[in-house]
A and B are shown apart, each in its own frame.
Chain A
Amino acid sequence: MSFTLDLNTVWFVLVAILFAGYAILDGFDLGVGALHLLARGDRNRRVMINSIGPVWDGNEVWLVTAGGALFAAFPEAYATAFSGFYLAMVLLLVGLIFRAVAIEFRSKRESPRWRRSWDVSFAASSILSSLLIGIALGNVVWGVPLDAEHEFAGTFLGLLHPYALLVGVTTLALFLMHGAIYVVLKSEGEFQAQARTWIRPTIIFFLLMYVTTTMATLLYVPHMAQNIRSRPVLFALPLAAMLAIANIPREIHRGREFRAFLSSCASMLLLLAVAALEAYPNLITSRPDPEHSLTIHNAASSQKTLMIMLIIACIGVPLVLAYTASIHWIFRGKVEISETSY
């Protein structure tokens, strides 16, 4: 394998950045959702929902952007993934729909039964969505059966193999930790003290899952270590990921939650960077026939399309980064519940 800085590689990096941005941003609001039922009492649950209230939908737009970029730059990979994972995508959409509706509808009526039903819907759909996103990542890492025409040749149940499920649970654990730190940042008083007690167990849960997944990957997915094995200097990347993860409990121990949150963001970025680096130049690895894999070359649009889109991306990506940063800045600080809150 050789790294050449062509347009295809630039687009591979761009698509990877968009997916990483999605994981970091939607990661904390999915995590808050997954933790939702741990919050007791109506007011605390409203704090949970309103902590992500102004930002969660903007965060989800990153998934749309990442899907759109994949469609435009690597249409064959998009076609294979979206057709092949059809039922999984349908399930993910159902999860995301009920999550969104739960956030909007929950506090519209006083009835405790109404609110409890939406609380359960919010938590269950957040957990389901996190698992499915992780399972998708697990399958991309593991490889999926593709035929000679790059069509998906497996079944939906075939996507639920132990390694994919392991990555699914690891992703959920990561989001739980990420979300727990976020809730502490956004809450105050007694509830903040309660939310602080969630951090330790979620960190331990994530660390166990992270170590298990790393071992399983090295043992059973040898093609995911080739690129770094052939260029030892790249070992700096998984090393940086490990240091970022180790820094999370360190910052928590010192009571610096904001730094812990930044560390958690950095861990997600670095872990996905390792996965992307190892997958390169494959977009969707074929297993058991690696020669049927979709790569950044055989799945790409024409060079002209990639060039035009790169110009658009150079204008669009800074804009997206700017509005994402400004919305988080505007809504910084602790959650306040008012008449018009969720």
Chain B
Amino acid sequence: VGRQPWIVYGLLRTSEGLSKSVSDASVITSLVLFSLIYLLLLALFLFLLNEKIQHGPGEVEEITEEGHRA
């Protein structure tokens, strides 16, 4: 549906849908910034996940409590 060069197939070209007031520099800055943030968050997530796995599951009571989590 969104195949190049169409952003709306057969109706609107990508080049026509471009924001005129957003510069290339802004786009690349935000893309790099968000990629770095997501990589950082992925690393933190894997770190926490690994810690949880190393720690192993808790007692049975704890698991039932997990089930009640809001």
Contacts and interface: CB of A to CB of B under 8 A. Distances in A.
Contacts of A79: 19
Contact of A109 (B20, B30, B34, B48): B48
Contacts of A340: 65-66, 68-69
A105 B48 contact: yes
A79 B70 CA distance: 38
Question: Nearest 6 A-B pairs (CB), nearest first?
Answer: A83-B19, A152-B21, A90-B30, A340-B69, A83-B21, A86-B22
Interface in A119-149: none
Contacts of B41: 97, 101
B41 to A, nearest CB: 6
Contacts of B33: 90, 94
Nearest to A330: B70
Contacts of A109: 48, 51
A161 interface: no
A80 B20 CA distance: 10
Interface in B6-63: 19-22, 26, 29-30, 33-34, 37, 41, 44, 48, 51, 62
Contacts of A331: 70
Given A101-B44, A105-B48, 20 more contacts: A79-B19, A83-B20, A83-B21, A83-B22, A86-B19, A86-B30, A87-B26, A90-B26, A90-B29, A90-B34, A93-B34, A97-B37, A105-B44, A109-B51, A151-B21, A152-B21, A339-B65, A340-B65, A340-B68, A340-B69
A153 interface: yes
Contacts of A250: none
B5 to A, nearest CB: 20
A109 B70 CA distance: 20
A297 interface: no
Contacts of A290: none
Q: Using C-beta atoms within 8 Å of the partner chain, give the interface range for chain B.
A: 20 to 34
Interface of B: 19-22, 26, 29-30, 33-34, 37, 41, 44, 48, 51, 62, 65-66, 68-70
A-side interface mostly: helix
B65 A84 contact: no
A97 B44 CA distance: 14
28 contacts: A83-B19, A83-B21, A83-B22, A86-B19, A86-B22, A87-B26, A87-B29, A87-B30, A90-B26, A90-B29, A90-B30, A90-B33, A90-B34, A93-B34, A94-B33, A97-B37, A101-B44, A105-B44, A105-B48, A109-B48, A109-B51, A151-B21, A153-B21, A331-B70, A338-B65, A339-B65, A340-B66, A340-B69
A84 B21 contact: yes
Nearest to B58: A339
Nearest to B52: A108
A212 to B, nearest CB: 31
A109 B20 CA distance: 46
A54 B70 CA distance: 8
Nearest to A146: B21
A306 to B, nearest CB: 20
A108 B21 contact: no
A109 B33 CA distance: 27
Most interface-central of B19, B37, B62, B66 (chain A CB within 10 A): B19
Contacts of A151: 20-21
Given A83-B19, A105-B48, A151-B20, A339 B37 contact: no
A79 B20 CA distance: 10
Contacts of A83: 19-22
A332 to B, nearest CB: 13
Nearest to A90: B30
Most interface-central of B20, B41, B62, B68 (chain A CB within 10 A): B20
Contacts of B34: 90, 93
